[in-house]
């Protein structure tokens, strides 16, 4: 895999792979099984206006909203197009024409390098899916065989950012949601985060190249190499309520538990990576971006955003089940929330439809969850404030809302508006976390808010 699993780990994983019928791609594991315990948790910062919020508030740390250089974009598209559908992540081989196009695209990308000093960039952290590997004669034969199994998914989790307590690299072999996964973990060493006492691997490895031949050459430039030494591994199986430790004494294996990967290209948007391992293998990996981060990225691309795409992503976030349980009763619901996007339901009132996504709009929920205010900023110094009593309904996934006052605020003056309200409404909580909420109103309108700490 991308950091070269030790042969014993590969053999054990291969044995587990036999539980799955070959010839089909393994299903994505359930979130509870496969969610990586990554340390990076970027807190979104509020901005003064929606336009500024699009970048400062919405860009997830795992990806970045950038416009790629056309040459790089074409090279990436060519690379991904060539390897799409190739059997066994490269095992099926490429035609001479495909190989030439692949080599040219790789040369363009590696010559550019993408993100400078990639091991210091937060874009490197996250879960990466292995798409393709080259198969040089110096690579481990077991690794070449195992990464060619299409019926499993192979990932690499990287945690080398400054926010991580300890720099680590993990290899994950996912046998599918019905089975579970194997996770092999390693301590990581980089130029900016040296591992105390770490000594790089020396020599080519076991005699006769049994497990491949390792290179000990230096990296081409600083801050591109991640050295590692495996220290623990375990199976997490759906059928068992506990992990099964992998009984390998890693510390007794010496250099055979060590290796390195050089990040030869990291795309400026943090979605594509090329890496070369210590046994000469080229790995092509793609960032696995969580639905929440994909939603935030789509919202940040405000100029050319697709409302259908945003609604679909919002539904995907809701279906992920990764928000807090019982959101209507959660203390996270309280606070000031900025409305970033809405799609109004067919029965919403005409004024609400006309103002949708056109003006600043906030919702304030009291600490005790008993009061709610909607604040619409029409012009500087001109605002409409609707106040309501509220509270969780049975099941704590819905908040009842009873509007009891609507006020027009002109500067410091407050003018009550004789607006008749039509009974009780509600807000259905589809997703709530520390910084993001997705809700649907009783008239079918969909709302996406982010917390505003200003």
The pLDDT value recorded for residue 318 is: 94
The pLDDT value recorded for residue 150 is: 67
Contact by Cβ (8 Å): 261, 275: yes
The pLDDT value recorded for residue 38 is: 52
**Which region among 49-53, 74-78, 184-188, 343-347 has the lowest average model confidence (pLDDT)?**
49-53
The pLDDT value recorded for residue 61 is: 64
Predicted confidence (pLDDT) at residue 350 exceeds the cutoff of 80: no
Supply the pTM of this predicted model: 0.64
The CATH number given to 293-451 is 2.40.128.280
The pLDDT value recorded for residue 12 is: 35
The Cα 180–Cα 240 span in angstroms is: 10
Residues with Cβ within 8 Å of residue 76, at least 6 apart in sequence: 68, 105, 109, 267, 272
Predicted confidence (pLDDT) at residue 362 exceeds the cutoff of 70: yes
SS3 string, 206-219, reads: CHHHCCCCCCCCCC
Report the pLDDT averaged over residues 168-176.
91
Report the pLDDT averaged over residues 273-277.
95
Going by the DSSP 8-state scheme, the letter that residue 411 receives in this structure is T
Report the pLDDT averaged over residues 109-117.
97
**Which region among 43-52, 62-71, 189-198 has the lowest average model confidence (pLDDT)?**
43-52
Residues with Cβ within 8 Å of residue 122, at least 6 apart in sequence: 40, 42, 61, 62, 161, 163
Residue in the block written with tokens 């209507």: 328
Nearest alpha-carbon partner for 451 in 439, 441, 436, 438: 436
The pLDDT value recorded for residue 58 is: 55
Q: Predicted confidence band at 65 (pLDDT cuts at 50, 70, 90)?
A: low
Q: Predicted confidence band at 258 (pLDDT cuts at 50, 70, 90)?
A: confident
51-55, 108-112, 193-197 — most confident range: 108-112
> Average pLDDT, whole number, for the chain?
79
Predicted confidence (pLDDT) at residue 47 exceeds the cutoff of 70: no
Residues in the chain: 454
Predicted confidence (pLDDT) at residue 311 exceeds the cutoff of 50: yes
Domain ranges of the chain: 7-45+66-288, 293-451
Phi-psi region of 93 (alpha: psi -120 to 50; beta: other; left: phi over 0): left
The pLDDT value recorded for residue 93 is: 77
The pLDDT value recorded for residue 84 is: 86
The pLDDT value recorded for residue 249 is: 78
Report the pLDDT averaged over residues 422-431.
85
Q: Which residues pair with 363 in a beta bridge?
A: 337, 374
Report the pLDDT averaged over residues 320-339.
94
Report the pLDDT averaged over residues 226-250.
89
Residue in the block written with tokens 């081409």: 220
Predicted confidence (pLDDT) at residue 208 exceeds the cutoff of 60: no
Contact by Cβ (8 Å): 54, 297: no
The pLDDT value recorded for residue 213 is: 59
């Amino acid at each position: 895999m991308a950091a070269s699993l030790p042969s014993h780990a590969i053999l054990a994983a291969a044995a587990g792979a036999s539980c799955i019928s070959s010839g089909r791609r393994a299903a994505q594991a359930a979130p509870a099984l496969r969610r990586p315990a990554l340390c990076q948790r970027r807190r979104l910062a509020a901005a003064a206006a929606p336009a500024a919020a699009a970048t400062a508030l919405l860009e997830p740390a795992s990806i970045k909203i950038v416009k790629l250089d056309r040459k790089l974009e074409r090279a990436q598209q060519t690379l991904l197009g060539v390897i799409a559908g190739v059997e066994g992540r490269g095992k099926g081989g490429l035609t001479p024409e495909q190989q030439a196009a692949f080599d040219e695209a790789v040369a363009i990308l590696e010559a550019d390098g993408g993100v400078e000093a990639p091991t210091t960039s937060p874009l490197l952290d996250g879960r990466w899916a292995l798409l393709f590997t080259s198969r040089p004669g110096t690579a481990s034969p077991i690794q070449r065989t195992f990464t060619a199994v299409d019926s499993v998914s192979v990932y690499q989790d990287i945690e080398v950012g400054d926010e991580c307590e300890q720099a680590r690299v993990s290899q994950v072999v996912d046998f599918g949601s019905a089975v579970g996964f194997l996770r092999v973990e390693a301590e990581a060493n980089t130029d900016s985060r040296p591992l105390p006492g770490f000594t790089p691997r020396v020599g080519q490895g076991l005699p006769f190249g049994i497990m491949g031949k390792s290179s000990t050459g230096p990296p081409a430039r600083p801050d591109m190499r991640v050295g590692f030494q495996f220290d623990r591994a375990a199976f997490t199986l759906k059928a068992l309520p506990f992990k099964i430790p992998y009984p390998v004494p890693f510390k007794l294996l010496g250099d055979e538990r060590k290796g390195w990967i050089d990040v030869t290209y990291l795309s400026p948007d943090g979605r594509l990576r090329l890496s070369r391992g210590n046994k000469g293998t080229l790995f092509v990996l793609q960032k696995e971006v969580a639905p929440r981060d994909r939603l935030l990225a789509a919202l940040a691309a405000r100029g050319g955003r697709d409302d259908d795409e945003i609604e679909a992503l919002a539904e995907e976030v809701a279906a992920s089940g990764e928000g807090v349980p019982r959101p209507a009763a959660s203390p996270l619901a309280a606070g000031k929330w900025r409305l970033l996007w809405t799609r109004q339901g067919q029965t919403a009132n005409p004024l609400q439809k006309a103002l949708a996504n056109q003006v600043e709009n906030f919702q304030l929920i009291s600490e005790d969850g008993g009061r709610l205010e909607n604040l619409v900023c029409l012009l500087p110094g001109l605002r409409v404030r609707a106040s309501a009593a509220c509270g969780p309904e049975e099941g704590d996934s819905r908040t009842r809302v009873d509007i009891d006052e609507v006020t027009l605020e002109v500067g410091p003056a407050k003018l009550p508006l004789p607006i008749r309200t039509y009974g009780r409404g509600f807000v259905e909580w589809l997703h709530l976390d520390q910084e993001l909420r997705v809700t649907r109103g009783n008239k079918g309108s969909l709302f996406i808010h982010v917390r505003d700490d200003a």
